Each structure stands twice: as structure tokens, then as C-alpha cells.
Amino acid sequence: MTRSVGAELQVSADAESEIELQLAVARSPGLTIEEELVVTGPWGRLSASEVSTPHHGRMHLVTLPPGLTTISYSATVAGQAAVPAPDPLALSEYRRASRYATSDTFGGYAQSEFGDVADDELLPSVSAWVGTRLAYVPGSSGPTDGASETLLGGAGVCRDYAHLVITLLRALGVPARLVAVYAPGCDPMDFHAVVEAYVTDGWYVVDATALAPRSSLVRIATGRDAADTAFMSTARGHALLTYCEVSAVADDGLPDDDLFRPVRLA
């Protein structure tokens, strides 16, 4: 499968500022990636230094001058990512509560809802439960809302769905993590957030929004929750995102997605 993905951002800074970008496709073994990242400030092209992040991700650090900066990323991705060996430290880390996934407060609730579900049915059961319990409503949640606020509010966007799935799974003892992805077929098109959960023999994708075929997704960043995977963060100064457009296309057409079939992130 070949996928063409990209993003264009415009960022305004009122003084020199430093931002952290997570736009680049993760360099997972087995993938062939042809890409370009261009950062253009008011007086010409700016440099971006690359830093490795967990699970083959990459963060780019950019110092912005005052004024408007345009960031353009594009990539063509081909191949199938290799299946990594299980990492006991990662399994432990992704069982723990985190900023937006307070699984330590969900134990009794998760057991009451899913305690009788068989292991091989747990991922689709949690996904279907969250997908039917929440309404996808852009603007219904704030940047500091976590799983508790999402459950009580009954609405959210992809990151909120993902946080609730992660929280319930961790409360049941299942390692779960958030993955920021490019998602061919996603409507509305944007950066997308899904869950990877570890069961039996590896990590499998859970997407309670069902907005895009899971086998077409392209990994960008992986972490405990949205605090680790934001596509742009301001590290110093003040930078305002004024424009964002994301594109993601499966060049060979979108695959079918049986939500009850286990799928690994390609």
C-alpha cells in the first residue's frame, strides 16, 4: 500500500519563539518514506533540527522569528511496517495512569462494564461501547479535558474517544497508548488519534470513531496520551497557529475495515 500524506501550517509569533513539531511520518522498519519539510519565515527558509522520539517517531524543533511562518510537510509512504518485539518496559509504562487517561480512578467502573467480556472480544467491545456512548462533536471539548470529562460530557473528538478507550483498557490491565496518525479517508480530514492496545502477541489498533480504515493509517507519534503526541507545541515564547490543513490519501484506494477483525498499524 502506498499513501501520500502532508500538512501545511501557518504560525504567527509576536517575538522569537521555539516550537516543537510532530508532523513527520515515523521511520518504522519496513517502510519506504520519501519526504520534504520546508519551514519559511518572513525573511526566508528556516532550519529545523530533528530529535528522535519513542517508537521511531521524530520531533522537529524550530526557532521562529517574529511574524508569520509557513510550515509545509509532504511524504509518500510505501510498504508494511515490521512488527516490533514486545518490550516489557513499554508494556509496564502503558498500563499506568497518565495526564488525560486517569485509569486509576476507573477500575470499578471498567470492571462493571467489561469484567465478564472474554479476552479476545475485549478490544472490539470497548471500541463499540465508546463509539456508541459518545457523539463526535468538534469543539465540544477543551484542551485540558481528559477521559472523565469526556465520559460525563458524552461528546468529543478523536483524541477524546482515544483517551476514554485507553483509560478503560488500562483500568482492565491492558497496555494501551495513543498514536497520532495520518488517516486516509478520514472525514473531516485532520490529524487523527487512535489507540494501540497490547493483547496476546502484539499491538493492535482501536479506533472508536471508525472515521478511517485502520489498515491505511500512517504513524506519526506515539505516547501515553495527547500530552506526548501533539502536532505542535510551544516550548518558548508565544506562537499562535493561524492555519492548518492536513491531507492523507491511499493511492491504491481505501481498504475495507471490519471493526471486529484485529488490525496492526501498518
Domain shared by 10 and 115, yes or no: no
Q: How far apart are the first and last CA of the chain?
A: 9
Average pLDDT over residues 55-73: 97
Count structural domains, the chain.
2
Domain shared by 66 and 183, yes or no: no
**CA–CA separation, 178 and 146 (whole Å):** 13
Domain shared by 92 and 76, yes or no: no
Q: Work out the mean pLDDT of the chain and round it to a whole number.
A: 95
**Does the residue 223 lie in any domain?**
yes
Give residue 161's domain range: 88-228
Which CATH number does the domain housing residue 117 bear? 3.10.620.30
CA dist 242 to 14, 67, 85, 181, 239, Å?
A: 13, 12, 41, 21, 9
Domain shared by 165 and 245, yes or no: no
**CA–CA separation, 44 and 206 (whole Å):** 42
Write down the residue that cell numbers 510551544 correspond to: 234
pLDDT beyond 80 at 266: no
Domain shared by 125 and 207, yes or no: yes
**Does the residue 254 lie in any domain?**
no
Average pLDDT over residues 80-84: 83
Domain shared by 34 and 144, yes or no: no
Domain shared by 7 and 42, yes or no: yes
Report the pLDDT value the prediction gives residue 147, as an integer from 0 to 100: 97
Domain shared by 43 and 150, yes or no: no
Q: Which residue has the higher pLDDT, 178 or 263?
A: 178
Extract the runs of DSSP E, i.e. beta strands, from 224-262. 232-236, 239-250
Which CATH number does the domain housing residue 58 bear? 2.60.40.2250
At position 40, the amino acid (one-letter code) is: T
Domain shared by 118 and 54, yes or no: no
Domain shared by 177 and 242, yes or no: no
Residue 95 binned pLDDT confidence (cut-offs 50, 70, 90)? very high
For 125-166, the pLDDT digits (tens) are: 999 999 999 999 999 999 999 999 999 999 999 999 999 999
